């Protein structure tokens, strides 16, 4: 299981990995998801994505995350626990949060990752009793995840590192999954050996649309109140149906220009069943063909409402730029 907390329920997503506490963001419902996700809806959806979004759960660059991968690791050969697994040694460095760490191998890089960066790592995790619960090393599969999508101990600890460095982290329960975690996460203080392989800075957010406040007179309008205009014509001929699984890139803003979610920034296209998201998306994406990029002005009634009941969901009219990559 990866130390991450995720909003999108992706098959592999470091956020999910790191912080079960925030599985809501990577949740199986899409950020753009409907009030109650369809039973067969895909795990990754704009809802999940926004971490609100968050989920990603959506397609993360890594196929395995600590929490998610723990099950497969359990059947593999365990790596021996460190001699100091029970407690950090006297020469370990301790921060004010209670995180203790020790450099096992100096790095070759000069820069430290920031909280919004993505990192690629190898890691192994043990409980205080010395039981290994997950390891990307055993799977021989490094993982990549956004640093702000994992447990606090990882978010803080990785920022102390540089590329090429290997460090041991003694993470108190309060910075991990807690003393009584849910969903099979390991309880109490945890010990991780983490090797930072690569730092990837996040993509720059797209510019706020000049017409974000209201649809222009040239925009088309459907009977439901959905308004839209094509930003880039597509190359396809067929349109998806409500039952189609679609792959899209998107960014979403409130009418005051505040971006609340973007798969573009995460550099992770989102995949979901079209009838498993908000009504404005279900209707709007069916108007598109592959390769097309369209801007939608979605009234509150077709989004999350003027007073959303879903925690963290944006209210009122929303504006989305959506690019349809593929569907089936």
Q: Which residues are catalytic?
A: 250, 260-261, 278, 304, 320
What distance in Å separates the CA atoms of residue 268 and residue 305, rounded to the nearest whole number? 27
In order of 111, 124, 125, 299, the CA distances from 1 in angstroms are 27, 10, 9, 39
Supply φ then ψ for residue 266, to 5 degrees.
Answer: -75, -15
Pairing assessment for the beta strands 227-232 and 293-298 based on DSSP bridges:
antiparallel
What distance in Å separates the CA atoms of residue 273 and residue 172, rounded to the nearest whole number? 39
| DSSP strands (E only) in 131-202 | 132-135, 143-146, 166-171, 190-200
Token pair for residue 105? Answer: 């191998």
> Rounded to a whole number, what is the distance in angstroms from the first to the last CA of the chain?
31
What distance in Å separates the CA atoms of residue 3 and residue 289, rounded to the nearest whole number? 38
Token pair for residue 100? Answer: 């203790």
What distance in Å separates the CA atoms of residue 47 and residue 41, rounded to the nearest whole number? 12
Token pair for residue 302? Answer: 């077709």
Q: Are 229 and 284 in contact (CB under 8 A)?
A: no
């Amino acid at each position: 299981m990866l130390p991450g907390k995720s909003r999108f329920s992706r098959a592999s997503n470091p956020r999910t990995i790191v912080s079960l506490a925030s599985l809501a963001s990577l949740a199986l419902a899409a950020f753009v998801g409907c009030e109650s996700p369809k039973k067969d809806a895909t795990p990754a959806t704009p809802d999940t994505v926004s971490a609100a979004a968050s989920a990603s759960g959506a397609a993360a660059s890594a196929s395995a995350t600590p929490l998610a991968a723990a099950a497969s690791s359990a059947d593999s050969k365990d790596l021996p626990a460190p001699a100091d697994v029970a407690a950090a040694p006297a020469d370990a460095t301790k921060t004010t949060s209670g995180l203790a760490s020790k450099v096992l191998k100096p790095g070759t890089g000069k820069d430290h990752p920031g909280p919004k960066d993505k990192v690629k790592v190898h890691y192994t995790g043990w409980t205080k009793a010395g039981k290994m619960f997950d390891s990307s090393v055993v799977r021989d599969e490094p993982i990549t995840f956004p640093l702000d999508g994992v447990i606090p101990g990882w978010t803080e600890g990785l920022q102390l590192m540089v590329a090429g460095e290997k460090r041991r982290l003694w993470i108190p329960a309060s910075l991990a999954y807690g003393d009584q975690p849910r969903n099979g996460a390991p309880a109490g203080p945890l010990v991780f050996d983490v090797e930072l392989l690569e730092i990837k800075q996040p993509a720059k957010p797209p510019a706020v649309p000049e017409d974000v406040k209201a649809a222009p007179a040239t925009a088309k309008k459907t009977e439901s109140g959905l308004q839209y205009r094509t930003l880039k014509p597509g190359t396809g001929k067929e349109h998806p149906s409500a039952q189609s699984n679609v792959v899209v890139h998107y960014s979403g803003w409130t009418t005051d220009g505040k971006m609340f979610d973007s798969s573009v920034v995460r550099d992770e296209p989102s995949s979901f069943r079209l009838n498993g998201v908000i009504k404005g998306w279900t209707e709007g994406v069916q108007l598109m063909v592959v390769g097309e990029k369209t801007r939608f002005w979605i009234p509150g009634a077709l989004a999350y409402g003027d007073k959303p009941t879903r925690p963290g969901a944006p209210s009122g009219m929303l504006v989305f730029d959506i690019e349809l990559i593929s569907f089936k």
